[in-house]
Amino acid sequence: HMGPQKVDREVDSVCPFCGVGCLVTYQVRDPDPTGAVPARIISVKGREGPANEGRLCVKGRFGMDYIHSPDRITKPLIRKPGVAKDLSLIDGHTDWREVFREATWEEALTLATQPLNTLRQQHGPKSLAGFGSAKGSNEEAYLFQKLVRTGFGSNNVDHCTRLCHASSVAALLEGVGSGAVSNPVRDVEHSDLIIVIGSNPTANHPVAASWMKNAAQRGTRIVLADPRITDIGRHTWRNLQFKADTDVALLNAMLHVIVTENLCDEKFLRERADNVVELKAHVRDYTPEVMSAVCGIPADTIREVARAYASAKAAMILWGMGVSQHVHGTDNVRCLIALASITGQIGRPGTGLHPLRGQNNVQGASDAGLIPMMYPNYQRVTDQSAHDWFEKFWDTKLDDQPGYTVVEIMHKALAPESDPHKVRGMYIMGENPAMSDPDLNHARHALASLQHLVVQDIFLTETAWLADVVLPASAWPEKTGTVSNTDRTVQMGRQAVQPPGDAKPDLWIVQQIAQRMGLDWPYAGEHDGVAAVYEEMRQAMASAIGGIDWARLNAGSVTYPCVSADDPGQPIVFHDHFPTKDGRVWLVPAGLIPAAEQTDAEYPMVLITGRQLEHWHTGSMTRRATVLDALEPAATASMCSADLVRLGLQAGQQVRIASRRGEVQLQVRCDDGTPQGAVFMPFAYVEAAANELTNAALDPFGKIPEFKYCAVRVSALQPS
Ligand code: SF4
């Protein structure tokens, strides 16, 4: 698809994969004159954008032809009567015609919505739930949460933020009053030192990693703290390969050094921080010598790195899901907030806290209220004034109780009939919990047990196989809307080609469902009223995007907070105050909490799950992208050479990996960046789904599952 072909037109947009938010230009070939060959994106160029300056990674440059895959759903599908929701369908080998029949939109929308209305009438609003998507636009996220809150009648709405940075957001809201980043990635250019912790940026945020490497070339010292030493470790000053699950031990030891060696920024603490005495007292017990035995990093190295961070002119911390996806994920981030605060490494260029957001629009979808405890702009549903404001704004009665989160909704789907909050019907737009949730056996049973499931997607995902009605949606280049990247920059994506067959823009579909649930929404205009939806969202989020109107976004990217037309936007925040009630940061001491599941004689190794450069999340897009699939066609598990020798395995050999919840079979790959006693698996492959093994234990604050740690056994599948 990507060979040299005539380009008829170019369309400016944003990359649909990761949260870096690289700007792209699609090069489009118009339909041939007979109409037999529809318009196609034949190549993608990097465009000058604040996050990428023309750079793209392999996904952005070569991954876009998933939209032209013959697997696209092009008509609404209805489950045939009597076809059971058998989990074996999920392997994708069944012909879809045995399970579904094609339908008109009118029939499909009626059959999608009527059972939702019936369930709501018979069992109440909490019997329904919705998962929106961090892959869609801000406008889609906003309308989806509005549909659940005003149409379904509860706050049972969530999305994959629960699976990535929910604990980061919980700690950041508690500590600094804002869940977003303080400084953009490119600010590493102004840092003397950066700490990259729990992140593999070369694979997961490749263009962001390129700015880090450029900074290192100019003299910035990078500290990588991670149980796995990944590619960025070739560009670092120090690699802290700490034992998996011991983040708090390492970070508290660094805090101990800074406190006991009087390296704190006392002026900053006096003027801008609370709970300082308690934090300082708490970390006194965490000496590097004692914590070294826990985390495996020599005490001298802990001291050296702590001193370097505290004494740097400007130092920044960037982190990924290695920090957040633990039962102590919120505590991990509390420690990072404490580190930045006690050293005054925040509020200036080259400093601050940056949770690297995963999905292209997970920041925007969270901002737009696609979370069960908050309305748009992080207004708590339990806050009476926020509740009253939104009741008036949307002219309807609203539930004032937080809804259930992603994993809780799966539990509630399997609750006994007698449970008044049993979830019986769901609408899932652009998410794939049958691959992305922990303990997939449980999650898939939960989805299959629903009385009614509506799935809106571009492919028959693993989740869609369990649906009653499947609504064919649009891929990102087939619609217009805005997204917000990891830097808080709002950017415009534009339609380049038409959706295939009868597939429709998601914004249109959500409005059709809303109409059939009795809602009378007024959005009119081009692209299903997207600008009108944005304008309403702008009113609901005035303190963030109030100064960014649609015309301004059409002209270029803007970073919020931006509160008026002449406000240029604020890439760096917290200069002189934090957006907390008293303007000060709240420091929270963290203790050592072990992973929910420990290794033992039966399951002696630790499983760490994550992503790889070529594949995106559950693989539904990238495994259908020709170049990316050719580069990484099959599931592999990575182990270090010492473990391979110890277990009598050879690279390339098929192995069985089993946990208490399931087992998978796949090839083993040698990677000496993976620590001894651990195995790393990407979660993109249905034929060896890593999440069949993972543990659904939750962080109590962020309700995020522990994807980064569970106990497994690895054994040879056949003699080598
Ligand atoms: Fe797309 Fe992220 Fe790659 Fe940029 S770094 S091209 S946003 S996947």
Q: Residue 484: name the closest of 374, 390, 566, 369 by CA.
A: 369
pLDDT for 252 beyond 90: yes
Tokens standing for 684?
Answer: 């993109």
In this structure, the residue with its CA closest to atom 2 of ligand 1 is 18
Mean pLDDT of 217-237: 97
Given the CA of residue 15, which atom of ligand 1 is nearest to it? 1
Burial of 704 (0-12, 13-18, 19+ CB in 10 A): buried
Nearest-atom index, ligand 1, CA of 207: 5
- pLDDT value, residue 2: 47
Question: Secondary structure of the chain: what % helix, strand, coil (to 5)?
Answer: 35, 20, 45
As a residue count, the chain comes to 720
- Out of 13, 14, 22, give the residue to mutate to test ligand 1, the one with the largest number of ligand atoms within 8 Å of its CB: 22
Q: Which helix (H) or strand (E) holds 344?
A: none
Ligand 1 neighbourhood includes 57 CB (under 6 angstroms): yes
For residue 207, how far is its CA from the centre of ligand 1 (angstroms)? 6
Separation of CA 241 and ligand 1 centre (Å): 27
Distance 611 CA to ligand 1 centre (A): 14
C-alpha torsion sign, points 114, 126, 438, 161 = positive
Q: How far is the CA of 165 from the centre of ligand 1 (A)?
A: 19
Q: How far is the CA of 22 from the centre of ligand 1 (A)?
A: 6
Indicate if the pLDDT at residue 552 is higher than 70. yes
* C-alpha span between 430 and 447 (Å, rounded): 15
For residue 635, which phi and psi values (nearest 5 degrees)? -65, 135
pLDDT in tens, 447-502: 999 999 999 999 999 999 999 999 999 999 999 999 999 999 999 999 999 999 99
From the CB of 56, is ligand 1 less than 6 Å away?
A: yes
User: Is the C-beta atom of 64 inside 6 A of ligand 1?
Assistant: no
pLDDT reported for residue 4? 66
The response to whether residue 17 sits with its C-beta less than 6 Å from ligand 1 reads yes
Q: If you write DSSP's letter for every residue of 512-576 in order, what string do you get? A: HHHHHTT------SHHHHHHHHHHHHHHHTHHHHTT--HHHHHH--EESP--STT----SS--SS
pLDDT surpassing 90 at residue 437: no
Instruction: Please report the pLDDT score of residue 34 as a whole number.
Output: 87
Predicted local confidence at residue 1, as pLDDT: 44
Q: Taking the alpha carbons of 700, 702, 703, 707 in that order, is the dihedral positive or negative?
A: negative
CA of 359 to the centre of ligand 1 (A): 10
pLDDT in tens, 671-712: 999 999 999 999 899 899 999 999 999 999 988 889 999 999
What would the two tokens of residue 250 be?
């390492």
| Residue 205 CA, closest ligand 1 atom number | 5
3 pLDDT exceeds 80?
Answer: no
Q: Tell me what pLDDT residue 719 has.
A: 54
What's the 612 CA to ligand 1 centre distance in angstroms? 13
Q: How many CB atoms lie within 10 A of CB 449?
A: 17
Given the CA of residue 58, which atom of ligand 1 is nearest to it?
Answer: 3
Q: Is 60 in the pocket of ligand 1 (CB under 6 A)?
A: yes
Burial 370-398 (b: 16+ CB within 10 A, else e): bbbbbbbbbbebeeeebbeebeeebeeeb
Q: What average pLDDT does this structure show over 357-380?
A: 94
Answer yes or no: is the C-beta of 203 below 6 A from any ligand 1 atom: no
Could you report the per-residue pLDDT of 383-429, keeping only the tens digit for each?
999 999 999 999 999 999 999 999 899 999 999 999 999 999 999 99
The answer to whether residues 477 and 64 touch, using CB atoms and an 8 Å cutoff, is yes
Distance of CA 561 to the CA centre of its chain: 21
8 Å CB contact between 39 and 434: no
- If you take atom 1 of ligand 1, which residue's CA is the nearest one? 60
In the sheet that holds 40-46, the strands lie side by side as 9-14, 23-29, 40-46
Atom 3 (ligand 1): residue with closest C-alpha? Answer: 57
pLDDT in tens, 140-152: 999 999 999 999 9
pLDDT tens-digit profile of 653-675?
999 999 999 999 999 999 999 99
DSSP-derived secondary structure for 188-200: GGG-SEEEEES--
> Of 10, 85, 76, 13, whose CA–CA distance to 42 is shortest?
10
SS3 state of residue 482: strand
Q: What is the mean pLDDT of residues 250-278?
A: 98
Cα 575 to ligand 1 centroid, rounded to whole Å: 29
Give the nearest ligand 1 atom to 616 CA. Answer: 8
Whether the pLDDT of residue 253 is over 70: the answer is: yes
Which atom belonging to ligand 1 lies closest to the Cα atom of 46? 6
The preferred substitution site among 25, 57, 491 for testing ligand 1, maximizing ligand atoms within 8 Å of CB, is 57
**382 pLDDT above the threshold of 90:** yes
- Kindly state if the Cβ of 207 falls inside 6 Å of ligand 1: yes
**Is any atom of ligand 1 closer than 6 Å to the C-beta of 15?**
yes
Cβ(20) to ligand 1 under 6 A? yes
Q: How many helices (H) and strands (E) does the chain have?
A: 25, 30
E-strand spans in 107-149?
A: 128-131
Query: Angle, nearest 10°, between helix axes 247-260 and 288-295?
Result: 160
- What is the Å distance from ligand 1's center to 487 Cα? 13
Q: How far is the CA of 6 from the centre of ligand 1 (A)?
A: 25
Report the separation in Å between the CA atom of 175 and the middle of ligand 1, taken as the mean of its atom positions. Answer: 30
Q: Ligand 1: which atom is nearest the Cα of residue 57?
A: 3
Calculate how far, in angstroms, residue 41's C-alpha sits from the geometric centre of ligand 1: 17
Q: What is the DSSP string of 504-527?
A: --HHHHHHHHHHHTT------SHH
Percent pLDDT > 90 in the chain is 91
Helix axes 166-175, 329-342, angle to 10 degrees: 40
- Tokens for 495, please give them: 């339609």
CB 59 less than 6 A from any atom of ligand 1:
yes
C-alpha–C-alpha distance, residues 11 and 20, integer Å: 20
For residue 22 and ligand 1, the question of a CB distance below 6 A is answered with yes
Q: How remote is the CA of residue 485 from the centroid of ligand 1, in Å?
A: 11
